[in-house]
Amino acid sequence: MAEKKARIAVLVSGGGTNLQALIDAQHSGIIKSGEIALVISNKEGAYALERAAKAAIKTAVVLKKSYSDALGFEEAIKALLKENEIDVIVLAGFMSILSESFTSAYPERIINVHPSLIPSFCGAGFYGLRVHEAALAYGVKVTGATVHFVNEIPDGGKIIMQKAVAIEEGDTPEILQRRVMEEAEWIILPESCEKVCASIIK
């Protein structure tokens, strides 16, 4: 009998570099207690969808504009999660804040990676390059990434893992963003994902 694995859905909006890190981690055996069963994008033509298709992972697109309100949009995502018997949800560059009615339906089942050491440079308005711009503007010497559970407060859920990354002379937001991805995000997101999946199937 095949071992039971937690079924993972990855929610994406863009290029899907974190999704790729998860796919690679699944192939290399870092993620062994779960499998990526579904990738949902809130943008048509997101490159992340191509990455999923190449890895033979089922994809779906849910557009906000197709619904009269955020609730309809979230209900459509919930329906897909239910239909695909999803256990764990990973937000990998998903550019849509989920409401409390969504997050409370999956307590300690939704994880997100944030490109700073929470509680620094996080919360509403801090995403993408803005986080790295803020870190450089403030003059911190160390930044990094945090994987946390998602609740109704942006970047407010319990921390699962953190990894520090040094800021170097001459860093630009773009250079720093790349280093934080390579040295932190792509390492701790798969590891956190495995940790959560393992605790679910226990």
User: For residue 44, what pLDDT is reported?
Assistant: 95
| Distance set, CA 104 to CA 17, 70, 119 (Å) | 27, 15, 22
* Both structure tokens of 190: 């798969």
d(CA 45, CA 58): 15
CATH code: domain 6-201 is 3.40.50.170
| pTM beyond 0.75, yes or no | yes
Question: How do the domains of the chain map onto residue ranges?
Answer: 6-201
Provide the annotated active-site residues. Answer: 114
Q: What is the pLDDT of residues 92-145, one digit of tens each?
A: 989 888 999 999 999 999 999 999 999 999 998 898 999 999 999 999 999 999
